[in-house]
Amino acid sequence: MKDVKLYDTTLRDGAQTEGISYSVNDKLRIAEKLDDLGVHYIEGGWPGSNPKDMAFFKAAKKLKLKNSEIVAFGSTRRANTAIGRDAIVRGLLDSGTKHITIFGKSWDLHVRDVFRVPLEENLKMISETVSYLKSKGKTIFYDAEHFFDGYKSNPEYSLRTLFAARDAGADCVILCDTNGGTITSDFVEIVKDVLAKLDCPVGIHCHNDCDMAVANSVAAVQAGCTQVQGTFNGYGERCGNANLVSVIGNLKLKLGIDCISSAKLKELTEVSRFIAETSNVKQQENQPFVGNSAFTHKAGVHINAIMKNPVTYEHLDPHLVGNKRRLLVSELSGKSSILLKAEALELDLNLTKEAPKTKKILQLLQKLEHEGYHFEAAEGSLELLLKRAFNKYKKFFELEGFKVVTEHKGNKLVSEATIKLKVNKVEEHTAAEGDGPINALDNALRKALLEFYPALAEMHLSDFKVRVLEEKAGTAAKVRVLIQSQDAKDSWWTIGVSENIIEASWNALVDSIEYKLLKDRK
């Protein structure tokens, strides 16, 4: 079985994503997660380019990593500069890492138009940098930047850049599709030509500008590359890098390559979502392998088939990657989805497809969706609906009333919500301010309930969406409010629909809290 090493560059390439900015602590936490998963190499950043990266490398020395090596990243020496005086090279050595990745130009266009040096000088820059760092006892990975474009333009010269790195002692030469514009058929032919001529380990680094980064990375491994680089969730500049999550899933489950253990593969979804949360980026629902919708079924025909044999509409068992199957209940699904949903929620309803109860709940769902509810997007509310419909639920509190006031104070609007409710016949009357009426309601409701249900302190709202359902009705239109909540272990969506946005939001808020309390009782 082929030995393939995983090289993660989320902390460097991924940090170049628009909207992502990691603190040193963020980078350390992500590094620990990647190490626990079993990623072989973690590129920490470019030492010397900014204070944050230098602080990371200093702090990373204290990490007790079990599986991963931290890698410093930088370029070849500057043109016409003595290697011992080059600030970039000094920064790489000052990082203190045993492993260093340097990148150099393999496209003659860049050498002429960007570096503006003779082609031979570029070869010396590559050779001298690799040789010098090797003399310091370092393991050197050489990233051949823009290799595929360079090969198409001038194959002879682009190959000479690889030979320069190899002959200088590079431990692995990585072919980079930096512009992400190479079609897979052309890509494979180029990789095969390199492997036939280069007698050293070869790796691959793909960008996703043609949406082929994962396919090209997997194809490169099939052709013989033994190191594959990428970022978690495909983060990166422009269209991103090869999504290492999908690369791992395909190598392990489709090609049988043991890039990580089967036990750790079950943590893939959790690690992907952790990195998304730390990056402050909402994970794509339809992300392959780990997305919330990756194993989700909606059509009645699909759900009926899944009940009989999951292989009919799933390319693998979701539990292998730590994900789970979801069966959506909507006006497009049939009785099978009701049965499976009740089973998944462990509701003892004694339902069959022909039972009157099943028909009743399906009619209720179809009626509510006609009114504007959208339960496939709010499974927290769906679970509560089913339990309420079959008397499998006891309310956690009784609302007696609430009031929301918004006023202009100083230079800003301030909202205050007052709530009166009962918990086990104990009356609670409280108020709280917020940035807006919904935030004020949320704060007041939690404040009233926290004494009775301390676990609510673990929960917070992470997303809030409003959609107007009847645009022609103007300000009197019915609105749908979706709220995403989460705690340390889970996240869930709840829904409310009304002509009044406050009422719709309140209904979704109540569901979100009651779902949390119900979940904790299981």
**Residue 110 identity:** H
Q: Residues 427-436: pLDDT tens digits?
A: 999 999 988 8
Which pLDDT value is given to residue 475? 56
CATH of the domain at 413: 3.30.160
**Considering the domain boundaries, does residue 436 fall inside one?**
yes
Contact 467/495 with Cβ under 8 angstroms? no
Model confidence at 389: pLDDT above 90: no
Mean pLDDT, to the nearest integer, of 191-197? 97
Model confidence band, residue 385 (pLDDT cutoffs 50, 70, 90): confident
Mean pLDDT, to the nearest integer, of 488-495? 85
Q: Residues 21-32: pLDDT tens digits?
A: 999 989 999 999
* Dihedral sign of CA atoms 505, 507, 512, 513 in order: positive
Contact 254/31 with Cβ under 8 angstroms? no
User: Are both 21 and 169 inside the same structural domain?
Assistant: yes
Q: How many Å apart are CA 490 and CA 28, to the nearest integer?
A: 23
**Residue 217 identity:** S
**Considering the domain boundaries, does residue 417 fall inside one?**
yes
Q: Which of 199, 226, 260 is the last residue of a domain?
A: 260
Model confidence at 332: pLDDT above 60: no
Mean pLDDT lowest for which of 44-48, 296-300, 331-335?
331-335
- With a CB cutoff of 8 Å and minimum separation 6, the contacts of 357 are 349, 351, 390
**Considering the domain boundaries, does residue 505 fall inside one?**
no
Model confidence at 448: pLDDT above 80: yes
**Considering the domain boundaries, does residue 64 fall inside one?**
yes
Which pLDDT value is given to residue 331? 46
**Considering the domain boundaries, does residue 511 fall inside one?**
no
Model confidence band, residue 156 (pLDDT cutoffs 50, 70, 90): very high
Which pLDDT value is given to residue 513? 93
Model confidence at 345: pLDDT above 80: no
Which pLDDT value is given to residue 409? 78
Nearest alpha carbon to residue 496 among 452, 466, 462, 456: 466
* Residue of 281 and 194 predicted with greater confidence: 194
Model confidence at 519: pLDDT above 70: yes
* Residue of 376 and 292 predicted with greater confidence: 292
Which pLDDT value is given to residue 474? 55
Nearest alpha carbon to residue 509 among 471, 468, 456: 456
Which pLDDT value is given to residue 315? 96
Q: Residues 92-149: pLDDT tens digits?
A: 999 999 999 999 999 999 999 998 999 999 999 999 999 999 999 999 999 999 999 9
Q: Residues 45-66: pLDDT tens digits?
A: 999 888 899 999 999 999 999 9
Tokens 């917070």 label which residue? 460
**Considering the domain boundaries, does residue 307 fall inside one?**
no
Q: Which of 387, 420, 452 is the last residue of a domain?
A: 452
Q: Write phi, then psi, for 199 (nearest 5 degrees).
A: -95, 60
Which pLDDT value is given to residue 520? 82
SS (H, E, C) 328-389: CCCCCCCHHHHHHHHHHCCCCCCCCCCCHHHHHHHHHHHHHHHHCCCHHHCHHHHHHHHHHH
Nearest alpha carbon to residue 200 among 144, 251, 156, 247: 144
**Considering the domain boundaries, does residue 134 fall inside one?**
yes
Q: Which of 260, 275, 303 is the last residue of a domain?
A: 260
Model confidence band, residue 1 (pLDDT cutoffs 50, 70, 90): low
- Mean pLDDT for all residues in the chain: 90
Model confidence at 346: pLDDT above 60: no
- Residue 158 structural domain: 5-260
- Total of domains in the chain: 2
**Considering the domain boundaries, does residue 414 fall inside one?**
yes
Question: Helices (H), strands (E): how many in the chain?
Answer: 18, 16
CATH of the domain at 250: 3.20.20.70
User: Are both 256 and 403 inside the same structural domain?
Assistant: no
SS (H, E, C) 168-184: CCCCEEEEEECCCCCCH
